[in-house]
Structure 1
Amino acid sequence: METGVLPNQGDLLLHPLSSPAAAGLCPEMLDVAEEANRAGDFNLAVEIYTSQLADLQQPDRGLCLRKGDSLARAGRISEALEAYCIAANLGHLRPEELAVLVETIARTLRVKELGLPVTQNGQTKSSSSGGQEGNLTDGDCEEHETLDLFSCRLCKRLLQEPTTLECGHTFCKRCLENDSVKDCINCKQKFSKLDRRVNVVLSGLLDKLFETESRARKMWIEGEMLWSKQNLAGALEMFNAAVDLVPSAGSLLCQRAELNMEMRNYSQAVQDANSLCRLKPLWTKAHCLKATALSKADRNDEALQEYFLCLALKPDWTKVKLEAQKVLSEVFSSVFENEDMPTPLHPLQGGFATRLIKPPALLQSLRPQTHKPGCSSQDSEFGVAKSTPVDGSPSELCPTSPKSELAAGEGSSKGLAGVLASLPAPHGGLKRKHSSDGASAPFNPPSKLSKPDDVNTVQTASVSGGRVVPAHLLDSGDLECSLCMRLFYEPVTTPCGHTFCLKCLERCLDHNPNCPLCKENLSECLATRGYNKTFLMEEVLRRYLGDELAERKKIHEEEMKELSNLNQEVPIFVCTMAFPTIPCPLHVFEPRYRLMIRRSMETGTKQFGMCIADELKGFADHGCMLQVRDVKFFPDGRSVVDTIGVSRFKVLSHGQRDGYNTAKIEYLEDRKVEGEELTELLKLHDSVYEQANNWFTSLKDNMKSQILSHFGHLPSKDPDPQP
């Protein structure tokens, strides 16, 4: 026996006992029944309510509702429906009086038909069938948009007019223009609302790789804009054209269905919702949309099916629960709205429960039917579906077959289909509100019937788990830097939408703070030095041009290795004399030296040579290596570099590289002396130190302050000049 949620204190207030019919009731017994309900002993409560009703000449409406609630909580839905029918015959059932019935039917569908765990008070507990292979989980009940590499993380759709932020992440331009979007959803970095341009390379790449979907996305966006301007006919025309291009785009179908409802085209809205439910059988919003469209089309029986399925997938959806109660109330009213209906017999006298005639369409569609050999895909909107039994043997079943997923699972009590099919109806039949529509389509819960691997519908990239990049359309020429004419390496996108290799862009900005292609001023980009790599571009290169990227990386590493060899090719800063251990601050403003300093930092050596100028050779034959301690950049690209002398060297040969001087060198090492040579060395050392000290002492105070701020205090005399 399946038990439900314990009754709330206010439940009984919804079912007050009527008068004078309730005059023969025993208050003490009713108190016992209420206590039994609170204790979870619903069967005892049912027995008490049944005995109390048997003592009455006429059924009491409130007592019938209490009995119905207890029966529902006890899992005896068939008997509960009879009690509700008796109450409905005595007076119109209000939506709030059907809360327990709706919850119970949804829970039964969730556990016995879908195989999902029971949720109770926000907690999840396993059902008896929860451990079977193939059962769904709660996470499957929600829509999981297929977010692949080319999807915008804001709208969850194909990037349209891709725009790259300073942080390197890319979104639709239209999404970024939304006032509610103030920071990057990926890295949470705030971005300025500047006039951003579309990423030229990515835009062309998307149009090439996904031509059809890209054209449909443009129509889709145009339709949304027309809709916002209340041009509904124009918006529908754009949506129709987009759906013709990508008929399996779930979100597009969803929007077109909502637009059709706003235009009161309910039958078209139902068709779109049907297609959406086939594409996304576990998306609660799809079933809710279908239920709403059916309800607005006055097809309450079918709408109720979808509402029950929504609640089975998402039990805590309060709005849908209230709608289900409202529609179920209307269904009960349609059953008993015949004014000439005779007064029902006493429920325990045997006649009422057996006087069953054709039930409403909702219940008729849920009734199990005998399997017919000739059942074809035309018998159902879902067609012939493949189902895999628990034993693993595949079989093709007609959706209305007793072996279908709708039938109760092995070992369970009476299936939901059979329970609901037993709903009594009065003599004279039903007054149908949409009899011309015919019976509704059979109801198939999306359990094993529509697993993603078994879907036979037309699949597009947005439905099948990721867009497939046509290999024959993508080549390295689509992703080449316009400066070095090689494959992008560490691609960076400027605010004007152009993409370059990071090193190529930096070299161009050394000479001119404008974009190399469109000449737009990039001073702000240069000032902030916001050179973040374009993540989407890097990932495209890694995934689809891996071999070419590996070769490009190899070339770059070889260049860095060559630049880091401080013997074969040492960069030379031609300026002034430098000495070991002496600080040497430098103001760097020439483009060639900007490049030289940057490379010394990138290679990790953080060293370069310093030589004085020579009119004939370009620079002197001796110099000093400098170690970079710190670099401070200015908005216009200039920098102040704090260096200190490391060691002396001799130039073996002169050269040039990318505009700056280079040299092949050998390091100089001091030769230790002894005896008289050492004595002479000490005298020379003391004399030089004394001259330097006298010179410094003779300077004016302001000059001394400048020297001290740049070089620090004069070091003390070294007791051993040749350590």
Structure 2
Amino acid sequence: MLQVAEEAFRGGNFELAAEIYGSELAGLPQPERGLCLRRADALARAGRMAEALDAYGAAARLARLRPEELRELAESVALSIRDKELRLPPWGSGGAGGGGAEGEGMGDPACCRPPELFACPLCRRLLCEPVTLHCGHTHCRRCAEPGDCGRCHRPRRPAEPTPAAAALPPAAGRPRVNVVLGNLLHKWFGAESRARRLRAEGDALRERQELPAALEKYNQALEMAPCKCSLIAQRAELCTLMKNYQQALHDADILCRNKPHWPTGHYVKAKALSGLERTEEALKEFLYCVALNPEWSSMKKEAQKIMCEMFFPAFENVHDSLTAPFSSRTSHTRLKPAFLSSINTQSAVEDNSVAGSSKDTVFRLTKTPSQESDVFRSTDSSVTHHVLDLYFDDNKKSLGAILSSLPGVGLKESYGDVLPENTTDTSSEIPTTLVDASDFECSLCMSLNKDVPIFVCTMAFPTIPCPLHVFEPRYRLMIRRCMETGTKQFGMCLADELKGFADHGCILEIRDVKFFPDGRSVVDTVGVRRFRVLSHGQRDGYNTANIEYLEDKKVEGPEYEELVRLHDSVYDQAVAWFTSLKDNMKVQILNHFGSMPGKEPEPQSNPSGPAWYWWLLAVLPLENRAQLAILAMTSLKDRLIAIRRVLIFVTRKRPR
């Protein structure tokens, strides 16, 4: 039967499990502690909290009750709060509320998060003193320490310095800041960037235990930050460290009223209440943390500790497991005077609770004495029942109504009248008036508008992958600079005997880089846009160019209708040619270039024309010079006519 009970518990049939455990206990001459605990767990999961507490009490009388043995009780109450009080969807269903894993409850709310492009992948906040790592991803300088990159999980090693920067003395071994990106952040996110820097300075002071100075930095940051939620939470944590619990509680109350579904607000409030030795209120906040994020195990443990002390104070069973300030109190002080006086006036409390005016209904749960087994009826549980009489009402209320006095429930997530400053969403688009070409120029490494680095090698086409094996020192330097500056782009051109490289090419974007110990690398790139070279240049051994991008000239009216007919006809001709190839040839093409893109409904939607066209141009047996001539065309009609002639030629010349 015990095996059946265990299977019922694992299957979620807690009522059956509790009944079996109760029957087994009733047949024993003396209660067995393990069965008492399993029955208590089943009763807690079934929502029969008063009976569960009786069962836990019986186990505590047989041997010392440990906080970890109240895990099921804490989880059950927290999940009931989530369902009945917060009215959130079940955990794991993708609904709102809480983080997704341990520690994620400490993440910033959505209103305080910067645009993803400008967020550090580790701290998730606006980049502060941005550092571009060897893998090409950018972090805050404080976050760029040995370990894994927050995005690609490669070693978090700063990128190698450029030759110009290598001559400068290192700043105490700290990684170099991406000056271009740092300036853009200051220009585009002025207030947020200044507040973020002050916050980082406060964090550094806090690590050095200079707490008053850190508090001053946080206060300065709060004056200019558009969204203040996460800063208020951080100030509350600091005030708790400084034992200024009243100020911490004041800040936490603001957060809980305005962000009732943000776990961090309830966390900082719980810590402040713990410091003030307001144990019962702290328990409520810890349970809220678990309700919003059931995987937040540290909060669950805190709730278990307080429950163990609060519900079973007479057994003196938690002295060595509780952290300050709880462990220093005696069993008499654990039961507050208000509790002790209410034990002798329970009938008055019950009358008030029926009328809806009781102040002691915080944790009243349903207790059905008729369902208790003989084992628990015959057991002396006066202390436990005193606690039950204090916290649990006999009225049959749902858990949602029982916990209705918990703070923050039912309030909207708006700052309205509470937070003094208005809050804005930093994810809004950057005004075009703030974007200027000179913002992207760097005098130390490279200019990102005029002097585009040029890789002289092969033909490249828009939308088509172009894998490269980089081994020459000049191109290794060029690739490294592209990654350091964050552009991840360079031009690809054919060689030219007179000019060094051709007058037309394609911009390639780096998707991934695999570096080898000897300095070589395999670079995965894809074509982005065509360009025309305006002037040729060089930098540190590799070629550069001042370029302008090419776009197809659009047509309308009858010319557009003719273009669509031509486009569809050439596409069908291309499909027929590829289908007629031998299987081994098709396999080679597919392995190298992938499948042929589908026909686009609007052939002029892309400035460089349809993707299938460039795929076809890449796989057709054409000389590079012929491909280059087609790449330079800005008339889609002319390119379609040219490729049609090639298709006719290769079809006629195919060997029988």
Give the structure, 1 or 2, with the largest relative contact order (CA under 8 Å, sep 6 or more): 2
Query: Which is greater in Rg?
Result: 1
Higher helix share: 2
TM-score, structure 1 normalization = 0.46
